A and B are shown apart, each in its own frame.
Chain A
C-alpha cells in the first residue's frame, strides 16, 4: 500500500523497496540492460567504429563478422552502428512521449479526480472520446499535421497516450482524497492546488513509475510500427522501425537485416516488461510475483 503512506515517511520505504527489488534477479538484469542500451545510445559516436550513414558499396550485404558485428545493409552501411543510432531515435521517442503523457495525463487526471463534479465530467468525456478513436489511426492523422519527424511522432503519440495516464491518476486521486491526511491538510487551510501537488501526488509515485514502464515501451513499439509502414521517421534519420522496414524487403536472402533490429527491439521490450513486473511486485506487497 505504498500509495497510502504519507509523504514524509517514504525514505525508509525507498531503501526497503530497493532491497526487495534487487532480490528479483530478472528485474535487476532488465534494469541493467535498459541502462546499458541508454548508455550505448548516448555515447553512440564514441562507441561505433563506423559511421551510420557512410556507404561502402564494396562491403554491401555482408553477414555478421568480426568487423561488422551485425553485418551491413544494401548500401554497405554498418548495421550495428545504424542500430545504435536508431536506438537514439527509438528511445527518445519512447521516453519523451511517456513523459508528455505523464505530465498531461497526471494534470487532467488529478484535477478530475480531486474536484469531481463537472470538471470530472468534462475530462472523462474527452477521455472517452479518445478511447473510441483508434489511437494509432489518430496518431497517423495527427502526424500529417505535425510532420513526420521526431516532433511530429512524439506529439502525436503523446496526445493519444495521455488518456491512459489520466484514467489511472484519476482513480488513484479519487481514493487518496478521502484519506485523513488530505482532510487534515484541508482543515488547516491548505489551498487545493497545494493539496494536489504536495500531499496527494507525492504519494502516487509508485503507480506512476510503474505506468512509465508500460508507456515507454508502448510508445517505442508504436513508433516502430508507424516507421515500419513508412509513416514514421523519414530518411536520413532512422529508428528501429525504419531499419526493420528496410530489412523486411530483403528478408528472403538477408534475414539478418530484419532479425537484428527486430531482435534488439524485442529485447528492449522484454526488459521493460520484466522491469515493470518487478516494480509492481516491489510496490504492491499484496501480490508477490503473481502478475
Chain B
C-alpha cells in the first residue's frame, strides 16, 4: 500500500505540471495586467515595475523562471499584497479553508449516513419521504440562499451567531451548515439507495434466516457493504468542499484560499493565482488518493495497484 501511494504521488507530478502550465498561460492571455490601475504611472516608473517583476520578459521566459523557482519552493511575491511571498499568503489562508472544508465534511458524513439509514429502514413511511425531501432540497438549494436564510434567522433576528468574519468557533457554525448541506444531501441519498440495494441480496436473507434482529442485520451486515459507494463519493465531495468553498468564503468574509483566488484573478495577481491553483491541485490529488486507500481497506476485493 505504501509503494502504491508513493507511485501515485510521483505519477501526480506531470499532472501538476500541466495544470501549472495551463493556468500560467490562461491567466496571461487574459486582457489587463496586474499594474493597470486608474492612475497611470509615468512610463519610466511603469517600465521599472515591469522589470522588477520580470514582466518585461517574453512569457515563456517568465514561465521558465517561475518553474525553476517553484521547484525550489519559492512561489514569488504577490502583486496585490506587495512584498508578501505567495507561500506566506497561502500559509495564512489555508488553515481557514481546511478547517471549513473538514468541519463541513464531518458534519455531512455524521448526519448524512444516519439520515440515509433512517430513510431506508422506514421505507415508504413519513420518515422516508421527509428525509428524502430534505435531501433533494439540500441538493437544490443555492449556497447563497442557504447562507442568507441562516444569516437572517440566526444572526440578524435571533442574534445568536455572528453573520460573518472568522473569529472563534461560533463563527464556524453558519459557514459549515451552508457548505455542508449539499454533501449531506448527496450522502443521505446515496446511503439510502445503497442500503435498499443490499436489502435484496442473499447474505441479508441469510442473516434474517439466522434469526438476527432487524437493527443487527442493518448495522452489522447491510451497512458495511453499502458504505463502499458512499466512500467513493467522499473523495470528490471533499475536493469540492475545499475548492468550492470560495462562494461561502466570499459571503461570510472568511479569509480563506477561495476568497484570495477570486481577488487574485480580478486583480491579475499572477503569482497568487498560480499558487492557489497549485495548492488546489495538490488537495484534489491527495483527497482522491486518500479515498482510494480507504476504499481498498473497506473492500478487500479491490486490490490496489493492479
7 new A-B pairs (CB below 8 Å) besides A140-B265, A247-B148? A128-B15, A129-B15, A224-B144, A225-B142, A229-B246, A255-B148, A277-B136
Q: Provide the bound-state CA to CA distance between A134 and B97, in Å.
A: 15
- Say how far A215's CB is from chain B's closest CB, in angstroms: 14
Given contact pairs A133-B281, A144-B27, A270-B140, A258 touches B145 in the complex (Cβ within 8 A): yes
- Say how far B217's CB is from chain A's closest CB, in angstroms: 18
| A28 on the B face (CB < 8 A) | no
Q: Are A262 and B148 in contact, CB atoms less than 8 angstroms apart? A: yes
Q: Are A244 and B140 in contact, CB atoms less than 8 angstroms apart? A: no
Q: Which residues of B contact A244 (CB under 8 A)?
A: 142, 144-145, 148
Q: Are B156 and A224 in contact, CB atoms less than 8 angstroms apart? A: no
Chain A residues within 8 Å of B, Cβ to Cβ: 128-129, 131-134, 136-137, 140-142, 144-145, 217, 221, 224-225, 228-229, 231, 244-245, 247-248, 251-252, 255, 258-259, 262-263, 265-266, 269-270, 272-274, 277, 287, 290-291
Q: Are B285 and A132 in contact, CB atoms less than 8 angstroms apart? A: yes
Stretch at the interface among B18-26, B42-50, B62-70: B18-26
For B151, give the chain A residue with the smallest CB separation: A251
Q: Are B243 and A132 in contact, CB atoms less than 8 angstroms apart? A: no
Q: Chain A binding site: helix, strand, loop or mixed by DSSP?
A: helix
State which of A137, A142, A258, A269 has its C-beta within 8 Å of the C-beta of B141.
Answer: A269
The 29 listed contacts between A and B (C-beta, < 8 Å) are A129-B18, A132-B281, A134-B239, A136-B244, A137-B243, A137-B280, A140-B262, A141-B23, A141-B27, A141-B30, A141-B265, A141-B273, A144-B30, A144-B31, A145-B30, A225-B144, A229-B247, A229-B250, A252-B156, A262-B142, A265-B142, A265-B145, A266-B137, A266-B142, A269-B141, A273-B139, A290-B192, A290-B196, A291-B192
Q: Which residues of B contact A229 (CB under 8 A)?
A: 246-247, 250, 262
For B195, give the chain A residue with the smallest CB separation: A290
- Say how far B184's CB is from chain A's closest CB, in angstroms: 15
| B79 on the A face (CB < 8 A) | no
Q: Which residues of B contact A274 (CB under 8 A)?
A: 136
Q: Which residues of A contact B136 (CB under 8 A)?
A: 270, 273-274, 277
Q: Are B140 and A134 in contact, CB atoms less than 8 angstroms apart? A: no
Q: Provide the bound-state CA to CA distance between A231 and B258, in Å.
A: 13
Q: Which residues of A contact B30 (CB under 8 A)?
A: 141, 144-145
Q: Provide the bound-state CA to CA distance between A290 and B244, in Å.
A: 29
Q: Which residues of A contact B27 (CB under 8 A)?
A: 141, 144
Q: Provide the bound-state CA to CA distance between A283 and B19, in Å.
A: 38
Q: Provide the bound-state CA to CA distance between A269 and B140, in Å.
A: 5
Output the residue of A129, A136, A251, A290 with the most chain B CB within 10 A.
A290
Q: Provide the bound-state CA to CA distance between A217 and B266, in Å.
A: 26
Q: Provide the bound-state CA to CA distance between A263 and B137, in Å.
A: 11
Q: Are A266 and B144 in contact, CB atoms less than 8 angstroms apart? A: no
- Say how far A39's CB is from chain B's closest CB, in angstroms: 21
**Closest CB pairs A-B (n = 10):** A262-B145, A269-B140, A144-B30, A134-B243, A291-B193, A270-B140, A141-B26, A258-B148, A132-B284, A290-B196
Output the residue of A133, A231, A248, A269 with the most chain B CB within 10 A.
A133
Interface size on B, residues (CB 8 A): 46
Q: Are A137 and B148 in contact, CB atoms less than 8 angstroms apart? A: no
| B178 on the A face (CB < 8 A) | no
Q: Provide the bound-state CA to CA distance between A128 and B244, in Å.
A: 19
| B290 on the A face (CB < 8 A) | no
Q: Are A145 and B246 in contact, CB atoms less than 8 angstroms apart? A: no
Q: Which residues of A contact B148 (CB under 8 A)?
A: 244, 247-248, 251, 255, 258-259, 262
Q: Which residues of A contact B189 (CB under 8 A)?
A: 291
Q: Which residues of B contact A290 (CB under 8 A)?
A: 192-193, 196-197
Q: Which residues of B contact A132 (CB under 8 A)?
A: 15, 19, 281, 284-285
Q: Provide the bound-state CA to CA distance between A129 and B251, in Å.
A: 29
Output the residue of A133, A137, A258 with the most chain B CB within 10 A.
A137
| B29 on the A face (CB < 8 A) | yes
Q: Are A273 and B246 in contact, CB atoms less than 8 angstroms apart? A: no
Q: Which residues of B contact A277 (CB under 8 A)?
A: 136
Q: Which residues of A contact B142 (CB under 8 A)?
A: 221, 224-225, 244, 262, 265-266, 269
**Chain B 174-205, CB within 8 Å of chain A: the 1/0 string?**
00000000000000010011001100000000
Of residues 257 through 271 on chain B, the ones whose CB sits less than 8 Å from some CB of chain A are 261-262, 265-266
- Say how far B246's CB is from chain A's closest CB, in angstroms: 7
Q: Provide the bound-state CA to CA distance between A229 and B144, in Å.
A: 10
| B78 on the A face (CB < 8 A) | no
Q: Are A136 and B243 in contact, CB atoms less than 8 angstroms apart? A: yes
Q: Which residues of A contact B15 (CB under 8 A)?
A: 128-129, 132
Q: Which residues of B contact A128 (CB under 8 A)?
A: 15
**Chain B 204-248, CB within 8 Å of chain A: the 1/0 string?**
000000000000000000000000000000000001000110110
| B277 on the A face (CB < 8 A) | yes
| B104 on the A face (CB < 8 A) | no
For A258, give the chain B residue with the smallest CB separation: B148
